[in-house]
Structure 1
Amino acid sequence: LAVATASASDYVVKSPSGALTLTVTHDKRGALAYSVCSGPVRIVDGGALGITTSRGDFTTGLGLVRQSRSVVDETYTLPVGKRSTYVNRANELTLSLRKAGQEMAVVLRAYDDGFAFRYVLPGTGAVEISAESTTFPLASREIDYWGQAHPNDYGYETPLGPIIADRISMPVLAELKEAKHFVLVAQAGSYQDYVIPHYERRGNVLALRFPMDQHEPVKTMLPLRSPWRFVLVSPGSMARIVESTMVENLNPPTEPSLASADWIRPGRASWDFVAGQGNKLGTWIDFDAEMGWEWHVADAGWERRVPYMAEVTAYGKARNVAIMAWGKVANRDFLFDPEKAEAWMARLEGLGVRGAKIDFFDQADTTGAKTDDLEDTQARLRVRDMLSETAERHHLMVEYHGCAIPSGERRRWPHVMSAEAVAGMERRSQNRIHDLTIPYVRNIMGPVSFTPIHLERSAGTRAYQLGQVVLYEAGIQIFSERYDRILGFEGVDFLKAVPSTWDD
């Protein structure tokens, strides 16, 4: 185990290969700060650690109670993702601290491709979290940033690219030019007991900020384990960032009921939203069968267009094609309500529908009004978690749209196939800079429902569009173009063969 104590107030943990060093300093004010080196190169310099809660302000005045060290070394498999077998290997340091009789711990991990930390509050009873002092001071005077300004539009649908904004949505990709390193700053394991933050940029410092629409403290129960704050570190190029599976590794293991679920079915899908002809599901199913695709997505208005859905799903089942049906969180289906969600998903199951595409987490519950970042709030994460668990009970795959960015939750819930959280092919105006940024920013966080292939809308050539099918990873890869156009497309044989899941 490659860990050590450098001095009375410094605590060091190294990655398994020793290439990355994470140092925590406990200063005379009782405050914690951290620094990170990749080999001899400083990457983060003096980042603040701390959390403000109703049980205490754990930003200063902290006394060390104990430290402990452990090794993370596990291998697991998932039916979805950029590879089939995942390796989670890191060295871990836990610092337990006390202030005014209340305890707080910081758990830190050093990986060969980056580092992560989280806050842990032991005990029982209710607790509120109002803020964090967490910062990421990037150790370079010249830094280029990529991402999207915050607040973004309609659930992360602002185009991605180079950015100079003072507030940036998660994640942030940065090139530290003097250090000759790339880093990606993000959060993993975002569940209903917390929020998804964004970053306020001051010079070279990224400060973590709670959502603008989170108008009250986070309210949850002890013990609390916050989401992981993590930074991927890649010297020279973005290769380690693109190849990393740290976002999945920092999530809980797969729920036991899902570990060997034979009803989880990744695949390829046709879609009738952009292409139209949603009243011809039989034709779509015949097309899917010819292509060897596993799914058709029946989008908004399917109940009106297809009153005979049970017959359609039976027809599809005979041809090995499943149906996914659309529903809305906010002011139409009111799926933010657990009883309504249960009834809706039970109805889908009864109709033989195998998947649920759930939309508009970004809209206000009863009015459907546009918001700043409602999808990132604790209230919306509670809805998403409830829907994921309800879908599991009814053996439904899930596709989220108009939603928060994923952060590795598919390890826990592998039936969650994908999430939009991107400006995709629904947009009539396409953007090459955005398209080329997706693999290095958005897709690092998990499956992306870009819905590729539209012969008129795309910003690139035919070959460019085929490349997007491979680069934009999703558990169910949904295609935008109409069936007859795909059958006449030069790349049709490639689309018949391309998988949606990968061994590596």
Structure 2
Amino acid sequence: MKFKILLISVCLILLKLTCQALPKDYTITSPDTKLKMQVRVDGSITYSVYLNNNILISPSAIGMTLQNNILGNAAKVSGTKSKTVNSTLHPLYGKEATLTDNYNELVINFEGNYSLVLRAYNEGVAYRFVTSFSEPIIVVNEKAQFNFSGSPEVVFPETDNYTAWEVPYINYNSITAIGEGKKAITPTLFSYPQSKTKVIVAEADLLNYPGMYVKKQNDKLVGNWAKYPAEIKMGSWGDFVMQVAKTKDYISETDGSRAFPWRVIIATDDDKTLLNNQLVYKLATPAKLTNTAWIKPGKAAWEWWHDAMLPGSSIPSGMGNRNTKLYKYYIDFAANNNLQYLMIDAGWSDNYNLLKVNPKVDIKELIAYGKSKKVGVFLWCVASTLIKNLDANLDFLQSIGAVGVKVDFFDRDDQAAIALFEEIAKAAAKRNLMVNFHGCSKPTGLQRAYPNIVNYEAVRGAECSKWDYSANPDHHLLIPFIRMIAGPMDYTPGSMRNRSKESFKPVDPGLPSSQGTRCHELAMFVVYDQPLAMLSDSPTEYEKYPDIMKFLGAVPTVFEETKVLDAKVGEYAVMAKKQGNNWFIGAMTNWEARTVELDFSFLKNDKIYTIDLYTDAADANTNAEHYEHKTIQVTKKTKLQLPLAKGGGAVAYLKM
């Protein structure tokens, strides 16, 4: 009898050991079952991603190396739990009044006080690590592999540093063509031309942790992060940029109990879905502000891009004449054209002392004058200057009546820099101040928690037209599919000096021009997400074209509904967005001329709409400023053929 008991005990132990040695597979699928993520725990942790049962990402290792522990090494599952969520989100503003938040979630708990959380949406899949340690931890490095099946084409926003996000995109015909050691900011796009599948690697809910890059390492793509700063010095532009002089040998020092950022894989075989994919927002921390009535997105006049020049005006203008009288002209222009704000850029105060106001600019009088005209004033400042005494500086901005602040020259996304974004947004919200981040890393959803963040730059925008050729229509038809996945972007459109590919030349200083047609430029106000939208050009230039200002005055910056009518990554986009009873349509093409069909079947009723239609003129291929404006009537049965010139576009404003 004792022998039998011993034998049974030995068998049970062997069985238990055998079961522990066997790999364990976990699968999570999207609500529509098209997307699937599989996780295998076999000592290590790997994941795979499938679209329509076709593998996109082959088994890829993930984990975190802590100073005294490795998450994902000798991993043992202690339990799992799952749930399905199908709810509705109500963003304060954006391109949809409501968002469907529908996903399946699986939490895999591991021995050693950590978990892996998986989510599958129709728009994409994501994972994040969650730790439950009683003491602070140091993250030496994170492991995130992206082992793509086959060798897809890549649109690589390449960078050789950790300090810039206004980068051009480099097209590679395969991952193998990317040089060893090269890295790119995220989001990054991968393409399988035969299946028309697009995959985007991104991240969401980045809080108090460094931002993720993708890097070619040992012939594979892996996550990459800036090291934790050990020493900061002032340098770069005007010696007011916080530069990292020395780093620690790890990437993060943080709380032991926390959720880490989501690693996001967006996959689709329909390019159109990328233009309204809001997965990054859905994965972000929910709103932390309760009083939000003062947060009001809108359009702004702005002096910097065109060097504050007012050709034809009766008052002195130009950068040397930025004074109270000049800025009142901008306020009058804004008030007369349904622009809600004036953005006053660098020069109104000392770059190193926010409280030292330029004596040529009576900032209090200007703000009071703006209020009398129902035009709020945003004020620019340097990030390093603002945070020297954050509370006092923001108190000053609040005391003079500013509605918001444009914070520039972060030029970092290590953990210490990322923490500043939330710190500034939180402190600004306490004072009812909106924030426009510039010289910043890409958004990852912080604007959901703090909707007073009304825009981010992190894009190679119109400013580059002053000094190079990179802000061109080919670029313009990549950023809404890639960079815009992360969140809103301050491209600063609105140029009225429009040039063909052959005639464009950079101009700085002076009055710059842009590449592409005038209608191409107007379409950005519909296609691009920009809750705070700059009108980059000179008021006197806009005033020459009342019909253009009719459209720019009417088009909102946030919408209740968005329809992507047609699109192809890097080539063209046609979108319709609704606000109230009105629809706004924007169409853009790259340097290839084409005709797109405008199908109005998205209209939900049989009523007749009056439409102001702006299209490229017949000679817009050579004279990019030429356009045609006409007023017609349409119904949901109407179809129009829109000829788009090289670098062309079209816009429409529909009213019942």
**The two structures share one fold, judged by TM-score above 0.5:** yes
Q: Which residue of 1 aligns with 2:257?
A: 223
Q: Which residue of 1 aligns with 2:395?
A: 346
User: Map of 1:129-278 to 2, 5 A cutoff?
Assistant: 129-141=139-151, 143-151=152-160, 155-163=164-172, 164=178, 166-192=182-208, 194-202=209-217, 205-211=220-226, 215-216=247-248, 217=250, 218-235=252-269, 237-255=270-288, 258-275=289-306, 276=308, 277=317, 278=322
Q: How much has 1:156 moved relative to structure 2?
A: 0.7
Change (3 A) 1:305 1:405: farther
* Alignment partners' CA distance in 2, 1:482 and 1:328: 24
Q: Which residue of 2 aligns with 1:336?
A: 387
Q: Which residue of 1 aligns with 2:521?
A: 465
* Alignment partners' CA distance in 1, 2:160 and 2:425: 25
Q: Is the partner of 2:480 in helix, strand or coil?
A: helix
TM-score between the two structures when normalised by the length of structure 2: 0.69
Query: Aligned AA for 1:470?
Result: V
Query: Aligned AA for 2:522?
Result: L
Query: Aligned AA for 1:232?
Result: I
* Alignment partners' CA distance in 1, 2:163 and 2:521: 24
**Which 4+ stretches in 1 moved above 4 angstroms?**
none
Q: How much has 1:225 moved relative to structure 2?
A: 0.6
Q: Which residue of 2 aligns with 1:486?
A: 542
Work out whether residues 138 and 204 of structure 1, in 8 Å CA contact, stay in contact via their aligned partners in 2: no
* Alignment partners' CA distance in 2, 1:274 and 1:40: 49
Q: Which has the higher contact order (CA 8 A, sep 6+)?
A: 1
User: Map of 1:18-167 to 2, 5 A cutoff?
Assistant: 18-27=33-42, 30-98=43-111, 102-141=112-151, 143-151=152-160, 155-163=164-172, 164=178, 166-167=182-183
Q: Out of 455, 460, 473, which is 2:496 matched to?
A: 455
Work out whether residues 158 and 170 of structure 2, in 8 Å CA contact, stay in contact via their aligned partners in 1: no
Q: How much has 1:19 moved relative to structure 2?
A: 1.6
Q: Which residue of 2 aligns with 1:444?
A: 485
Q: Which residue of 1 aligns with 2:571?
A: none
Work out whether residues 162 and 413 of structure 2, in 8 Å CA contact, stay in contact via their aligned partners in 1: no
Work out whether residues 86 and 103 of structure 2, in 8 Å CA contact, stay in contact via their aligned partners in 1: yes
- 1:312 to 2:361 alignment: no
Work out whether residues 160 and 433 of structure 1, in 8 Å CA contact, stay in contact via their aligned partners in 2: no
User: Map of 1:275-424 to 2, 5 A cutoff?
Assistant: 275=306, 276=308, 277=317, 278-279=322-323, 280-303=326-349, 304=358, 307-330=361-384, 333=385, 335-337=386-388, 340-362=389-411, 375-424=412-461
* Alignment partners' CA distance in 2, 1:81 and 1:135: 32
Q: How much has 1:72 moved relative to structure 2?
A: 2.6
* Alignment partners' CA distance in 2, 1:306 and 1:55: 58
Change (3 A) 1:306 1:174: farther
Q: Which residue of 2 aligns with 1:15?
A: 30
Q: Is the partner of 2:159 in helix, strand or coil?
A: coil
**1:136-187 deviations in Å (ceiling 9; x for gaps):** 111223x111131123686311223424453111110110235431011011
Query: Aligned AA for 1:50?
Result: G
* Alignment partners' CA distance in 2, 1:78 and 1:314: 31
Query: Aligned AA for 1:266?
Result: P
Q: Is the partner of 1:301 in helix, strand or coil?
A: coil
* Alignment partners' CA distance in 1, 2:341 and 2:542: 15
Work out whether residues 79 and 266 of structure 1, in 8 Å CA contact, stay in contact via their aligned partners in 2: no
Change (3 A) 1:109 1:153: closer
* Alignment partners' CA distance in 2, 1:475 and 1:79: 11
* Alignment partners' CA distance in 1, 2:32 and 2:190: 24
* Alignment partners' CA distance in 2, 1:183 and 1:23: 17
TM-score between the two structures when normalised by the length of structure 1: 0.90
Q: How much has 1:15 moved relative to structure 2?
A: 1.1
Query: Aligned AA for 1:378?
Result: Q
Q: How much has 1:203 moved relative to structure 2?
A: 8.3
Change (3 A) 1:153 1:442: same
Alignment root-mean-square deviation, CA? 1.8
* Alignment partners' CA distance in 2, 1:420 and 1:494: 24
Query: Aligned AA for 1:219?
Result: E
- 1:499 to 2:533 alignment: no
Work out whether residues 20 and 39 of structure 1, in 8 Å CA contact, stay in contact via their aligned partners in 2: yes
Work out whether residues 184 and 233 of structure 1, in 8 Å CA contact, stay in contact via their aligned partners in 2: yes
**1:429-485 deviations in Å (ceiling 9; x for gaps):** 332222221101111111101110122321100011011121221110012101111
Using the aligned pairs only, state the percent identity.
27
Work out whether residues 133 and 256 of structure 2, in 8 Å CA contact, stay in contact via their aligned partners in 1: yes
Work out whether residues 228 and 415 of structure 2, in 8 Å CA contact, stay in contact via their aligned partners in 1: no
* Alignment partners' CA distance in 1, 2:100 and 2:194: 31
Query: Aligned AA for 2:271?
Result: M
Query: Aligned AA for 1:249?
Result: K
Work out whether residues 147 and 441 of structure 1, in 8 Å CA contact, stay in contact via their aligned partners in 2: no
Query: Aligned AA for 2:337?
Result: M
* Alignment partners' CA distance in 2, 1:128 and 1:39: 39
**1:313-336 deviations in Å (ceiling 9; x for gaps):** 121112111000011013xx2x23
Q: How much has 1:212 moved relative to structure 2?
A: 5.8
Q: Is the partner of 1:16 in helix, strand or coil?
A: coil
Change (3 A) 1:462 1:127: same
Work out whether residues 407 and 438 of structure 2, in 8 Å CA contact, stay in contact via their aligned partners in 1: yes
Query: Aligned AA for 1:418?
Result: N
Work out whether residues 41 and 179 of structure 1, in 8 Å CA contact, stay in contact via their aligned partners in 2: no
* Alignment partners' CA distance in 2, 1:74 and 1:54: 39
**1:97-144 deviations in Å (ceiling 9; x for gaps):** 12xxx2221100011121000001113221111111211111223x11
**1:351-381 deviations in Å (ceiling 9; x for gaps):** 010010000001xxxxxxxxxxxx1101111
* Alignment partners' CA distance in 2, 1:161 and 1:499: 32
Query: Aligned AA for 1:421?
Result: A
Query: Aligned AA for 1:298?
Result: I
* Alignment partners' CA distance in 2, 1:202 and 1:412: 35
* Alignment partners' CA distance in 2, 1:176 and 1:259: 44
Q: Is the partner of 1:50 in helix, strand or coil?
A: strand
Work out whether residues 453 and 481 of structure 1, in 8 Å CA contact, stay in contact via their aligned partners in 2: yes
Query: Aligned AA for 1:198?
Result: Y
* Alignment partners' CA distance in 2, 1:322 and 1:50: 48
Q: Which residue of 1 aligns with 2:313?
A: none
Q: Is the partner of 1:292 in helix, strand or coil?
A: coil
Q: Structure 2 stretches of 5 or more lacking a match? A: 1-21, 173-177, 230-246, 309-316, 350-357, 498-512, 562-656
